[in-house]
Amino acid sequence: MSQLLIASDHAGFILKEKLKDYLTKKGIGVKDLGTNSLDSCDYPLYAYELGKNISSGKFKRGILICKSGIGTTIVANRFPGVRAALCHNLKIAKLSRQHNDSNVLVLGSAFVKPDLAKRMVTAWLNTEFLGGRHLRRVNLIKKIDKKIREGAK
């Protein structure tokens, strides 16, 4: 696997650091886009950086963390080709890969504790996209995204 991106705001900082350590110990390369402290910061800036890097193709997958996960999901999904999935349990993390080919896992630190987050990340990284009827739907998402970018109705 190529290097994995990770980013958080201040509310996700502690969970981000724990996941970074966990992934590194498993031999997975992690590029940290910040934040680097518990000091209050603005989540859109970190979600923007991660989304931009996924959308450009420089990186294949990433993990975003904020308190609820909602804000970072909204920002990341504004980028073409980004399929950010806000997940709160193991099953939905797997389904986000199997059915939606998600390339950004979003976690809400207020809802997902470190042990569960580690299991979710491992499952998400090891779960393959099923293709088939799901590929048709992901391709429809891509077509809709293209229409929106071109200003079509």
Assign 148 a pLDDT band (cuts: 50, 70, 90). Answer: confident
- Who wins on pLDDT, 152 or 75? 75
Q: Name all domains of the chain by residue range, CATH numbers in brackets.
A: 4-150 (3.40.1400.10)
HEC profile of 29-70: CEEECCCCCCCCCCHHHHHHHHHHHHHCCCCCCEEEEECCCH
CA dist., res. 69 & res. 106, Å (int): 6
CA dist., res. 143 & res. 7, Å (int): 28
Say whether 23 sits in a helix, a strand or coil: helix
Q: Which are the catalytic amino acids?
A: 66, 99
Nearest to 7 by CA among 52, 15, 16: 16
pTM: 0.95
What does the pLDDT read at residue 149? 84
Distance of CA 92 to the CA centre of its chain: 13
Convert the pLDDT of each residue in 118-132 to its tens digit.
Answer: 999 999 999 999 999
Q: How many CB atoms lie within 10 A of CB 115?
A: 10
Per-residue buried b or exposed e for 118-127, using 16+ beta carbons within 10 Å of the residue's own CB: bebbbbbbee
Is 104 within 8 Å of 76 (Cβ atoms)? yes
Question: For 84-95, what is the mean pLDDT?
Answer: 98
